[in-house]
Structure 1
Amino acid sequence: MPTPHEAEKQHRGPEEADQPPSMSSHEAAPPAPPRRNPCCLCWCCCCSCSWNEERRRAWRASRESRPQPLPSCEVCATPSPEEVQSWAQSFDKLMRSPAGRGAFRAFLRTEYSEENMLFWLACEELKAEADRHAVDEKARLIYEDYVSILSPKEVSLDSRVREGINKKMQEPSAHTFDDAQLQIYTLMHRDSYPRFLTSPAYRALLLQGGSPSSTEA
């Protein structure tokens, strides 16, 4: 007795039986190989699909997911009692002191405004850079981290300063953010500095170094 497969071959005839069965309309066709984005084949890839851009996005995301540690030089510096007391004399003296910047930055973190100090420090680093390629890269990172309205660490700048930065970013230099840096410096001076001098953190530093009564400016 013929099997069902042999009976089907006899019914279809010898010529049709040797041919592979056709794919029914209910069977899915094999998936087509994925297409590559045409712009990824050229030497100059667009920013949205380039591997370097993806790597930079991941790097920025990892930075934003955790607080940035204080620079080692500002963590390890131990201020003298006289130095701690001098911070109350002027904001300039505080900002010229590595230990002062570290203490002030820690205070800004408690007020959720640490990005102001981070921006100021990044601008200082940019102004000290001499390599043209490094200047371009650091300027772009500063813009993306602290000037872009899409950044969670955007600093508060007025429209005039923002427009000036947007124009200068066409050919960034070591001084692209000078006006913005001065504006943020002034903001920290007027807004955060007086609260820092009356904060428990600063009073604790005074108690460690000397009598609080001798620190009044």
Structure 2
Amino acid sequence: MRENLATVSSQSMAFTDSLKTTDPSADKKGIKRKNWRNRIRFLLKSNSSQPILHPTKNRSYRPTTDDVKQWAQSFDQLLSHKYGKAAFRIFLKSEFCEENIEFWTACEDFKMLTSHKAMASKANVIYEEFIKNEAPKEINLDFHTKNAIAQNLREPTATSFLAAQRKVYSLMENNAYPRFIDSELYKELLRRAEDSHIKS
């Protein structure tokens, strides 16, 4: 089980970390399309050469047409599906705002910790990476939320980042998620799922 999840995680990280844009004067629209098309191609290639095992059924897994359609039913459905979450991250990366899903995921991981030492360490990592002013992946939070997190760093609890996580979740659900469902990236994923179903 753990090996299966690790395979999914490592493949998701691999294709979402590719093709970083460094030229700010470049045509962003063209870059976005090239980026997500290449990442989809990489993901599908990974799936065919190194099948991802379904975490609950322990078998080779690829999202069906029904899976992809369910992503459009609710944001929760999208995030609960590993492939859907990875696709959403590709979309956010193409819009230069992937820090939101990365922060949300880090908070989910943080809530699973039970050791006080591990929680304190992870809390500081999250704060340094996403919360503090001019953090490398700073997310958009109000002063009071940031301050509350900073005050709790020494004695973090499972709910230390809950308010911030809810704000980021709401931001993604109300803004990025509708754009993702209307995007060419999502339509391309749906077409490929349908084509795969027809061929099989």
The percentage of counterpart residues that share the same residue type is 39
Contact 2:130 2:139 in 1 (8 A): yes
What is the aligned counterpart of 1:116 among 100, 106, 127?
100
What is the aligned counterpart of 1:178 among 136, 156, 162?
162
Contact 1:73 1:98 in 2 (8 A): no
Q: CA deviation at 1:95?
A: 0.9
1:154 maps to which residue?
138
Matched, 1:204 2:188: yes
Contact 2:64 2:194 in 1 (8 A): no
Write the letter of the residue equivalent to 1:103. A
Q: Which runs of 4+ in 1 moved over 2 A?
A: 70-78
Q: CA deviation at 1:73?
A: 6.4
Q: Using structure 1 for the length normalisation, give the TM-score.
A: 0.62
Write the letter of the residue equivalent to 1:114. E
CA distance in 2, matches of 1:193, 1:169: 31
Q: Report 1:90-105 matches (<5 A).
A: 90-105=74-89
CA distance in 2, matches of 1:182, 1:71: 23
Return 5+ residue gaps in structure 1 as ranges.
Answer: 1-69, 212-217
Contact 1:157 1:180 in 2 (8 A): yes
1:27 maps to which residue?
none
What is the aligned counterpart of 1:141 among 125, 130, 133?
125
2:111 maps to which residue?
127
CA distance in 2, matches of 1:207, 1:72: 25
Return 5+ residue gaps in structure 2 as ranges.
Answer: 1-7, 13-42, 44-51, 53-60, 196-200
Q: Using structure 2 for the length normalisation, give the TM-score.
A: 0.67
Q: CA deviation at 1:160?
A: 2.4
Write the letter of the residue equivalent to 1:92. D
Write the letter of the residue equivalent to 1:152. P
State which structure, 1 or 2, has the greater radius of gyration over its C-alpha atoms.
1
Structure number with higher helix proportion:
2
Write the letter of the residue equivalent to 2:193. G
